[in-house]
Amino acid sequence: MLRRMLHGLTAFVLAATITTGLVSSARAALYDAPSIQVVKATPSYVTVKVTAGPSGAPDGFYVEWMYKSQYDALGGWPSDPYDPSLYYCIFDGNPTWHVGGADGYRLGPGESINVVLGELYDETGVTTDYLNELVQKQGVVVHAYTVGDASQGQSPFTADLFGATTASNNCTYTLGYWKTHGSAWPTFTTMMLGTVAYTKTQLLSILNKQANGNGLIILAHQLIAAQLNILNGADGSAVASFIADANNNLIGGLVVPPVGAGWLDPALTDADTNALDDFNNGLTGPGHCGTTPTRHSTWGEIKTLYR
């Protein structure tokens, strides 16, 4: 209903402008359409980056989407705004989860913000008729426009954007794989080793540092690989206790070389290191993948480690 009302209100205001001549001629001008691109996909959501055009999006923007299978079956977007396969999102307030932008979804010229289709249940600043996670391994079709206001009309829709959720990837890769396939790493900002946060660049430097008898480095190598596997979708329940012990009882505030100069006796780290190595090699846990991974991580999997 809100979608029909939104379109209807815009049409009414524009008609009134033309027929009465009481509104400034500037009202007939349209905002520039935003640009949109998929920047991340997981089994449960698709992240779309929305960038305002030269005229900005001072009152926010509207995103409409549907599953590609239904889009194909209908031969494109449905003409009926009540079609149950069509979903809408009006982004015009301030997000409190996937935050970004000084004014939230109200964008200045060229400003960008990410919206996460499939993770809107706990988000603010948005009105939508779809609050569930997306279905895994499904294509989606998205388009958007800049919302109009008293001075300018809504923009045209963007071109159609195609994306897809990924499949679950409940399997593991070895230390050697992650060390040499940085482009396949799942997306994250920092990873905790003990109580210290490390960037991807720092983690790669640790993976490429020979241990030379330092148990802290030996343990960190397998711990990084295990945590990457879990972020990539592997069930980590088989090594959860070893990860907790390594982080809380062994590493703590020690900074792993070459980032720092921490050191541990290998005899102290041997049990956890071997347990993590078995997990990474598929001897315990869900088993080894054997093929190149898809980049993804679900909210449930990440929160077990980082929330």
**Mean per-residue pLDDT of the chain:** 86
Q: Compare 52 and 293 and report the one with higher pLDDT.
A: 52
C-alpha span between 256 and 268 (Å, rounded)? 16
pLDDT per residue over 6-43, tens digit each? 544 443 333 333 333 444 444 569 999 999 999 988 77
Paired strand residues for 116:
47
The model's pTM: 0.55
pLDDT per residue over 253-289, tens digit each? 999 999 999 999 999 999 999 999 999 999 999 999 8
Fold observed for domain 2-164: Immunoglobulin-like (2.60.40)
Domain ranges of the chain: 2-164, 175-306
Q: Are 268 and 219 in contact (CB under 8 A)?
A: no
C-alpha span between 269 and 75 (Å, rounded)? 60
- The pLDDT of residue 18 is 35
Cβ neighbourhood burial of 304 (10 Å; 0-12, 13-18, 19+): middle
- Amino acid type, 271: A
Q: For residue 105, name the pLDDT band (cuts at 50, 70, 90).
A: very high
Q: Pick from 163, 155, 160: which is nearest to 76 by CA?
A: 160
pLDDT at residue 292 is higher than 90 = no
Q: For residue 101, name the pLDDT band (cuts at 50, 70, 90).
A: low
